[in-house]
Amino acid sequence: MASPYITPQGHAALRGELDHLWRTRRPAVVRALAAAAAEGDRSENAEYIYRKKELREIDRRVRYLTKRMDQLKVVERKPDDTSRVFFGAWVRVADEAGEERTYRIVGVDEVDSSRGWISADSPMARAVRGKAVDDVVLVQLPAGPAEFEIVDICYHDPRAEPAANPSP
């Protein structure tokens, strides 16, 4: 079973997707389905068959999101000890060759490998959870075990522009 935790941003994205599907996409598909049904013989009507399938997919996703939203626990605050890796952290690690990568530990519903967002249930996240800078962890990867050193931990996006400090 996947962890029920999610960041506020992830929760807002799922809520936005659910709202879009229910208020915008589904009504548009229902209208298109009704128009296709009015064209006559439904058994050979490709538009009708396609719209029925599309409506089933939307309804399936709406059911999933509705159920999942009830299960989720939004993690809104930083941990008391921000010098250690916990849910929501951005953690920079170096492999044995010195190559660095940055990951953010997020809920399973918001994983995005292109952004380096990994599930809290992933082998890397489990290995670094509770660890501090300079700790070395052993991660079981598909290619075999690998060691990583934790180089940095933060609880804000390290790629974001820092807030400007006005001069007195």
* 125 occurs within a structural domain: yes
Looking at the fold, whether 66 and 103 belong to one and the same domain comes out as no
* 80 occurs within a structural domain: no
- Domain that includes residue 20, residue range: 5-74
pLDDT for 162 equals 59
Q: Which residues fall within 8 angstroms of residue 72, CB to CB, at 6 or more apart?
A: 4, 5, 6, 11, 14, 107, 109
pLDDT for 3 equals 84
Check: pTM over 0.85? Answer yes or no.
no
Looking at the fold, whether 95 and 36 belong to one and the same domain comes out as no
The string of pLDDT tens digits covering residues 70-119 is 999 999 989 999 999 999 999 999 999 999 999 999 999 999 999 999 99
Looking at the fold, whether 103 and 68 belong to one and the same domain comes out as no
Looking at the fold, whether 22 and 59 belong to one and the same domain comes out as yes
As for how many domains the chain has, the answer is 2
Looking at the fold, whether 69 and 96 belong to one and the same domain comes out as no
CATH number of the domain to which 36 belongs: 1.10.287.180
DSSP string, the chain: ----EE-HHHHHHHHHHHHHIIIIIHHHHHHHHHHHHTTS-STT-HHHHHHHHHHHHHHHHHHHHHHHHHH-EE--S--S-TTB--TT-EEEEEETT--EEEEEEE-GGG-BGGGTEEETTSHHHHHHTT-BTT-EEEEEETTEEEEEEEEEEESS-TTSPPPP----
Looking at the fold, whether 62 and 115 belong to one and the same domain comes out as no
Choose one of 39, 74, 109: the last residue of a domain. Answer: 74
Cα distance between residue 132 and residue 84, in whole Å: 5
Kindly give the interhelix angle for 46-71 and 26-37, rounded to the nearest 10 degrees: 160
The string of pLDDT tens digits covering residues 138-151 is 999 888 999 999 99
The string of pLDDT tens digits covering residues 31-67 is 999 998 888 777 788 899 999 999 999 999 999 999 9
Indicate the pairing of strand 136-141 with strand 90-95. unpaired
